[in-house]
């Protein structure tokens, strides 16, 4: 399926020009900010386009997410729709996604799922590319302290 996603994406954007299909349930392209990817993900229940934030540090990931969340209104206006914002406090990473119900194991679902996902990704890239570039400079200049959940001394 990923080969087809990449082929369709290449008719809409250059974002996935240098990406190869793999066997995982996701594929990703860089955003220009370390640890922040423009990813596609699929399972037996959904197909989605997302921004996945995992810079390797819990506090840093939450900071990046919160800075984007503060721009939610303008980002969703640029996206031309609503997104699902998942801070995922119980995990290290965060995600911002656009998702549809679909089954990647059902070939009959592929055309509509791929169209939905690639359209969403083009709009996500358009909306987030510049804000991520600006945020990148800010994040690189900060020092992040590990967040304490009260369990560690």
* Residue burial 103-140, b: 16+ Cβ < 10 Å; e: rest: bbeeeebbeebbebbbebbbbbbebbeebbeebbeebe
* 90 pLDDT more than 80: yes
Q: Where are the alpha helices (H) located in 33-109, listed in sequence order? A: 58-69, 72-79
Mean pLDDT throughout 108-137?
A: 95
Q: What is the pLDDT of residue 145?
A: 58
Report the C-alpha gap between 119 and 62 in whole angstroms. 27
Mean pLDDT throughout 102-106?
A: 92
Q: What is the pLDDT of residue 141?
A: 78
* 41 pLDDT more than 90: yes
* 84 pLDDT more than 90: yes
Enumerate domains of the chain plus CATH numbers. Answer: 2-140 (3.30.1460)
* 153 pLDDT more than 60: no
| Count of Cβ atoms closer than 10 Å to residue 27 Cβ | 22
Mean pLDDT throughout 123-138?
A: 94
Q: What is the pLDDT of residue 148?
A: 43
Query: What residues pair up with 38 in beta bridges, in sequence order?
Result: 29, 51
Cα Rg, the chain, nearest whole Å? 16
Tens digits of residue pLDDT in 15-28 = 999 999 989 999 99
Mean pLDDT throughout 10-16?
A: 95
Query: Going by C-beta distance under 8 Å and a sequence separation of 6 or more, which residues neighbour residue 34?
Result: 55, 136
């Amino acid at each position: 399926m990923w080969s087809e996603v990449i082929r369709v994406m290449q008719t809409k954007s250059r974002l996935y020009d240098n990406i190869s299909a793999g066997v995982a349930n996701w594929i990703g392209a860089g955003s220009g900010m370390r640890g922040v990817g423009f990813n596609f993900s699929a399972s037996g229940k959904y197909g989605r386009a997302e921004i996945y934030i995992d810079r390797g540090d819990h506090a840093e990931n939450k900071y990046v997410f919160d800075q984007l969340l503060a721009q939610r209104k303008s980002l969703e206006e640029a996206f031309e729709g609503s997104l699902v914002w998942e801070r995922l406090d119980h995990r290290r990473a965060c995600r911002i996604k656009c998702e549809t119900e679909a089954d990647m194991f059902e070939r009959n679902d592929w055309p509509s799922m791929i169209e939905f996902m690639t359209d969403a990704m083009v709009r996500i890239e358009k909306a987030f590319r510049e804000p991520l570039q600006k945020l990148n400079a800010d994040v690189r200049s900060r020092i992040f302290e590990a967040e304490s959940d009260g369990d560690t001394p």
